[in-house]
Structure 1
């Protein structure tokens, strides 16, 4: 290896690390071939894709370093490329996928609004700001379609990613624990951290690092509800006391469930448009019916009254 390449911390941070087994297998493959089968991709001398291959070559200088330059104009375009490339991997954790989608959305917004650096960029007019906002919305919707989720889920992914990055600044090493799934903290905490002021950082970071401690108040609330239900007084309906009786992140969880439902509907609609016979062919409809029955059985097992839902739905359609 004769070339010296630069490691850009931000570029590298977007790339999920390999497991020990994956890295070992990659090194064995490189040694067996005696060369890199895929070149290391660089931009302005910085590695964009191939950090692990480059690190392996450091220990095996006899193997030539194959490099290819990416023809991209801006740093934000490079970040978009990295995120989209990594989202194509199949072994991502849910946290990694959400982080990459959020980073892609943010980078694309920055790239769309780029017209020079911070010193040469003109102050945008009201019309330009409105146009940029519309472009951002279109970008959000496109990323949502590409990943079969809702647009609001993409916007929350951007907040999640910003919160994870800020947590990493405050506590180096925590990003890897979160994205690998080793540290399970509610998404709402990262969203709050992204929007919080410096005076709130310490409290939120402690809650992220010790998510178990946040479950205790909720447990007390559940006990309170149980005790009250055994008394002669009627218990309030969940929606009436919701703001006091559920954790702060409940609203975010509701949104995530709604997003999942919307994404399912959008995905099914896309499939039906691509293959209309799924709705017209009796055998294919029977197969889909079986899929739906499994889904409905799952919801019924959770205690939901599906008969009332279907009745309300029919009433709305006939109105």
Structure 2
């Protein structure tokens, strides 16, 4: 009987110690902006529904927490970083609802990011914009990682990052490269206006993906032009496109080739149709990039008519 009581006391103490340990970890959970921004934001009605479910049923799914090694070469070393369950954590801490945690281990921030992205892409309620952002973020992260030769694996087959990721997500390689520009463009938007970035990913604010991708084309040049509104996105995308056209125009130092009358007439028809189509888009959608396309076609048409 004494042995049984002693064993019961030991088990009770172990459970209490574990509970106290989890309680301490919960109080120390760290929200890292980089990881939080990888989580596709919920729409208002989705967030309200999740809050109602938690109020009625409790937080049934554990929050995933990365216990960062103390010796990690990272400013997060020793911290307990939330990597899945940000919406649930916000609801639970706001309304004092208890929740469970599941500790995971990764060697680097890179591994944690990729786990988060794959975990999110495995869910079915993502918009096309959210999927593109996550795929592009993973591509950009892996390309950056590939520049570090100390972390490369020489045993891996030599296959482009875009092609490998495209196979994994069952899309083509060009889609992944476009996604990368979209993700970079969204990050540029987020630097000036994080709320606008979240509203776009929620689908609450509609923008042309090609315009966001244009922003991504100058991401590596540390573009510092503030993006505070949708109008700023269109304006900056147009400036980038016009800058490319102007640069291409100025770099043409070879003589304009001479064409036959038949070839000239064919090209005139081509630019006529192109300008007409772009004009319709520009008027219908108030699309600045379409206006930029019209200007570029007019420049080419002018050279064609006056130099032949």
**TM-score, with structure 2 as normaliser:** 0.58
Contact 2:136–2:176 (CA<8 Å) still a contact in 1? yes
> 1:16: which partner in 2?
40
- Which one of 99, 104, 107 corresponds to residue 65 of structure 1? 99
Q: How far has the Cα of 1:184 moved from its partner?
A: 3.0
> 1:238: which partner in 2?
270
| Structure 2 unpaired stretches of 5+ | 1-22, 69-79, 239-264, 283-287, 291-308
> 1:38: which partner in 2?
61
Closer/same/farther in 2, CA of residues 245 and 132 from structure 1, 3 Å limit:
farther
Closer/same/farther in 2, CA of residues 72 and 13 from structure 1, 3 Å limit:
same
**TM-score, with structure 1 as normaliser:** 0.56
1:108 and 1:198 mapped to 2: Cα distance?
A: 19
1:83 and 1:204 mapped to 2: Cα distance?
A: 27
| Structure 1 unpaired stretches of 5+ | 122-127, 215-232, 251-319
Mapping for residues 73-222 of structure 1, pairs under 5 Å:
73-112=107-146, 114=148, 137-196=159-218, 197=221, 201=225, 207-209=231-233
Closer/same/farther in 2, CA of residues 148 and 249 from structure 1, 3 Å limit:
farther
SS at match of 1:15: coil
Contact 1:188–1:249 (CA<8 Å) still a contact in 2? no
**What per-residue deviation string (whole Å, max 9, x for no partner) do you get for residues 183-238 of structure 1?**
33333332332232567835997755457x97xxxxxxxxxxxxxxxxxx998333
Q: Quick check: which has more Rg, 1 or 2? A: 2
SS at match of 2:118: helix
1:172 and 1:30 mapped to 2: Cα distance?
A: 27
1:166 and 1:206 mapped to 2: Cα distance?
A: 13
How many residue pairs were aligned?
A: 217
Q: How far has the Cα of 1:25 moved from its partner?
A: 2.7
Contact 2:130–2:201 (CA<8 Å) still a contact in 1? yes
